[in-house]
Amino acid sequence: MLVQFKFNNYKCFKDEVTLNLVASNYFKDEPTNIYPTEYYSVVNSLAVYGANASGKTKLFQAFNFMREMVLHSANNKNNRVWQDDYDPFRLNVNSIGKSSSFEVVFLIDNIQYRYGFEVNKEIVITEWLFRKKGKEVKVMYRDDDGVEYNKVYINRKVVDNLIDAGMIRNDALLLSILSLWNDSLSSSITRWFYNANVLSASINNYMGYSLRQLDGPMKKQMLSMLNGADICIDDMNPSEVDFESIPDEIKKMMPKEAFEGKIYNGVKTTHKVYDSNGLVVGTTELTMENDESYGTTKLFALSAPIIDTLKNGKILWVDEIDHGLHYDLLVAIIRLFHSPETNPHNAQLIINTHNSGLLDAPNLFRRDQIYIASKNRYGESSLKPITNYSSTLRKSSKLGHLYREGKLGGVPYLGEFDSSVISKEE
């Protein structure tokens, strides 16, 4: 369960920003979209609003950068090199050469962990891990002076052998290295990051996962989800392609793992065919890519990640979730995470969106579930919870109305937009 994420000096964020999922005690009369823990309550969904280019997507990319470093910095699997994705704030001469830091607070089995690291464009500068069950205890700390670790929680033999063999590289996270060597706690934390998935705005980046699930037990739930959204599809099946039929030029571009198992190139959907009396006389096959709407395709692509997240108590970040989805359907998806019946394992959903109507939806979001991303004249993005606007908010305030009026920030200034598109005299 994610409790807090903070970082600094990454992409359009120059200064430190914090995304806090701890529920406020001031909103007891609002929807109970929270999970109580031993220390505090945590919200089960969170929405980030803001104008175009305000930093909403870059926030998600910051978390994904941290996730990818934890999962791959020790082995550089598939030639992934984190330095290629490292991108400090470039619009200020003082920040370009500075380091960046990333930290998350999360719960595993009701124990709080705080893990983070500081990097520059080449190496890991510092790295830390703390555990809290009552009192916070240092589990691991690593910097230029060496490695400190708590022998109660970290496998002493593994760490000492790695140090003696000179296998703790300065371009890899110690947590990732320990996980490769099967240290129990490090492996558990790495799995937590693995179960926190970030979906980009492009459905092509996660369509493949949903497509592959059509060959397994999740297919029935996916089909039920689409039909529950009033999309009438009788069946869905992956379209398999013969490996030998793939041109050699394409094969050279495919990753090695693509050669393992079946190769799919699309989805076939089955629909009923009716006669002039409205009676079913047969079925016909269509393709998801060419015949179904973009909204249908988007929901199909989201279906497997959503079902997997709810079923296994994971964390799902979805960039521009509202793109292509009807407002009512979007509300219904969010409510899946708010209901103990559909979300019995404390899964969390974090989205960014332009749909201000969600702010007006009755009993959908608590006020501590809304953040606003903004960018100043110097290109620096910031992130604030709407609870910071206490002087503007009243108990009876309509959040959507205040947001659209610009009283919560995060909306574009379009005062000269009309005149700006008219050709000016040369």
pLDDT at 92 over 90: yes
pLDDT at 345 over 90: yes
pLDDT in tens, 298-335: 999 999 999 999 999 999 999 999 999 999 999 999 99
> Which pLDDT does position 77 carry in this prediction?
53
d(CA 200, CA 223): 23
Percentage of residues in the chain having pLDDT higher than 70? 89
Do 2 and 125 fall into the same domain?
yes
The tokens for 117 are 């690291």
> Which pLDDT does position 266 carry in this prediction?
87
d(CA 92, CA 253): 37
Look up the domain containing 291 and give its range: 207-312
The band of 242, judged by pLDDT with boundaries at 50, 70 and 90, is low
pLDDT at 390 over 90: no
Give the CA distances from residue 360 to residues 133, 136, 184, 241, 356, in Å, rounded to whole numbers and listed in that order.
39, 40, 45, 46, 7
Sign of CA dihedral 304, 308, 309, 314: negative
Lowest mean pLDDT among 89-93, 116-120, 203-207, 390-394: 390-394
DSSP per residue over 350-363, as a string?
EEE---GGGGGSTT
Percentage of residues in the chain having pLDDT higher than 90? 73
3-state secondary structure of 106: strand
pLDDT at 245 over 80: no
23: nearest Cα among 56, 45, 48: 45
- Beta bridge partner(s), residue 271: 284
Do 305 and 258 fall into the same domain?
yes
**Residue 369: partners with Cβ closer than 8 Å, 6 or more residues away:** 33, 43, 45, 46, 47
Read off the pLDDT of each residue in 280-296 and give the average, rounded to a whole number.
Answer: 94
3-state secondary structure of 41: strand
**Residue 268: partners with Cβ closer than 8 Å, 6 or more residues away:** 236, 237, 238, 239, 285, 286, 287, 288
> Which pLDDT does position 20 carry in this prediction?
97
d(CA 142, CA 176): 13
- Domain membership of residue 200 (yes or no) is no
Do 212 and 285 fall into the same domain?
yes
- Domain membership of residue 422 (yes or no) is no
The tokens for 198 are 């970030």
> Which pLDDT does position 243 carry in this prediction?
61
The tokens for 390 are 């206490």
**At 74, which CATH number?**
3.40.50.300
- Domain membership of residue 424 (yes or no) is no
The tokens for 425 are 């005299």
**Residue 23: partners with Cβ closer than 8 Å, 6 or more residues away:** 34, 40, 41, 42, 43, 366, 368
The band of 76, judged by pLDDT with boundaries at 50, 70 and 90, is low
Say how far residue 354 (Cα) sits from the centre of its chain.
17
pLDDT at 253 over 90: no
Count of domains for the chain: 2
Do 404 and 295 fall into the same domain?
no
Do 121 and 14 fall into the same domain?
yes
**Residue 284: partners with Cβ closer than 8 Å, 6 or more residues away:** 270, 271, 273
Do 71 and 179 fall into the same domain?
yes
The tokens for 225 are 């989800």
**Single-letter amino acid code for the residue at 181:** W
Q: Are 221 and 306 in contact (CB under 8 A)?
A: no
Q: Are 116 and 104 in contact (CB under 8 A)?
A: yes
Read off the pLDDT of each residue in 96-105 and give the average, rounded to a whole number.
Answer: 95
Do 4 and 145 fall into the same domain?
yes
pLDDT at 78 over 80: no
Do 181 and 232 fall into the same domain?
no
Q: What is the pTM of this model?
A: 0.91
pLDDT in tens, 20-71: 999 988 766 666 789 998 889 999 999 999 999 999 999 999 999 999 999 9
> Which pLDDT does position 264 carry in this prediction?
74
Q: Are 334 and 326 in contact (CB under 8 A)?
A: no
**Residue 314: partners with Cβ closer than 8 Å, 6 or more residues away:** 195, 196, 197, 308, 347, 348
Read off the pLDDT of each residue in 286-292 and give the average, rounded to a whole number.
Answer: 93
The band of 184, judged by pLDDT with boundaries at 50, 70 and 90, is very high
- Domain membership of residue 241 (yes or no) is yes
